[in-house]
Amino acid sequence: MSISLQQRLQFTRQLATLVSAGLPLLQALETMAKSELNPQMQSMIAQLCVLLEQGMSFQHALHQTQHFDALYAELVAAAEMAGNLDVVLLRLALLLEQRHRLGSQIRTALTYPCAVLCITMCVVAVIMVWVVPVFENIFASLGAELPALTQTVVLASRWLSGSGLTVLFLGLTMMWMLLIWVKQQAWFHLWWDAEVLRLPVLGSLVHQSQLSIWTQTLSDLLRAGVPMLDALEVVAASSTNRCLGLATLTLRTQVSQGQSLADAMNQLSVHHAYVNVFPPMLIQLVGVGEQSGALDSLLAKLAEQSQQQLEALLRQFTQMLEPTMMVVLGLIMGGLVVALYLPVFQLGQVL
């Protein structure tokens, strides 16, 4: 079982603190192993200690544990060569913290509508299965012709009370099995990640968060002394969006052929599959950074701006979401109430 992002973040923070205090790497890890309460983390740190005692480098030891991605190992390798492991570990802690914060912000923004939608569906199902049949018996005793809206609700209730729930359960089960199979296909992941970026509101949130991580990751790698081609390969491997990762690999190929990063991004943006993956402003500022020789610093500033834009988008999304959910709930619940009580309003015509 792999350790969580939060656990990697805590591990990196503690290790950076101990190394910055002057403790040798092996002694710092041994100290952490003694104070670690989580058995899985304690086992992983103990494994690192054994590998280091055997003469393995910290980078290769991290690879052996299979709990750290290429970005983490590449930055550690550059730090071991430059002798500034404490500084790089602090940067890694900040990068992992940014990833954790971005993921938490997006999950928090999406939890509310998903929870409300699930609760609404459960309430509607209860009304349709148990409440509507009671009203149907009352309507039948009146002997009046039901309005079209009420007839529709009654027919839907009969279907759900009969074979509807079974059909829905079987349908959801088949869809779940199909989704599991499709998720194992590489083409689906690429198609899905590309389509997510094109969604009206959610796509902007995901795109902005991915660009923030992309620019910060590339900045940290270049600042640590990793060559551009290696840095782009690591950024592509560590990208959680496969469309952005594939675009980054394409950039690496073009840069290896002698193009500048800005020119490669410009050329890539013309391709229909990667339109707007890299915004024009980002491309322009990358070109400025390459010309001035301060690409790593400029990318760090771009990452900060992307983070601020993402927070603004999340606020707008939250502010827009609440009234939208109120309207949707009002239409659903209000429609049911009107459908059930509309015949009651016509009682005067029957009596």
Check if the beta carbon of residue 233 is closer than 8 Å to that of residue 251. Answer: no
Distance of CA 61 to CAs 49, 72, 190, Å? Answer: 9, 12, 31
Q: Which residues contact 125 (CB under 8 A, 6 or more apart)?
A: 160
CA-closest candidate to residue 247, choices 231, 263, 268: 268
Distance of CA 27 to CAs 74, 78, 116, Å? Answer: 22, 21, 50
What is the model's pTM?
Answer: 0.74
User: What is the predicted pLDDT for the residue at 347?
Assistant: 61
pLDDT along the chain (351 residues), means of 10: 81 89 90 88 90 89 84 83 83 82 77 83 84 81 76 83 73 81 70 78 82 87 86 85 86 91 87 77 89 88 84 81 83 85 67 49
44 token code pair: 């992983």
170 token code pair: 């079987």
d(CA 71, CA 55): 22
300 token code pair: 């760090």
Q: Which residues contact 200 (CB under 8 A, 6 or more apart)?
A: none
User: What is the predicted pLDDT for the residue at 255?
Assistant: 92
Superfamily of 95-351 according to CATH: Type II secretion system (T2SS), domain F (1.20.81.30)
Check if the beta carbon of residue 45 is closer than 8 Å to that of residue 32. Answer: yes
Would you tell me how many other CB atoms lie within 10 Å of the CB of residue 130? 11
Domain parsing of the chain, residue ranges = 5-68, 95-351
d(CA 253, CA 264): 9
218 token code pair: 């590339």
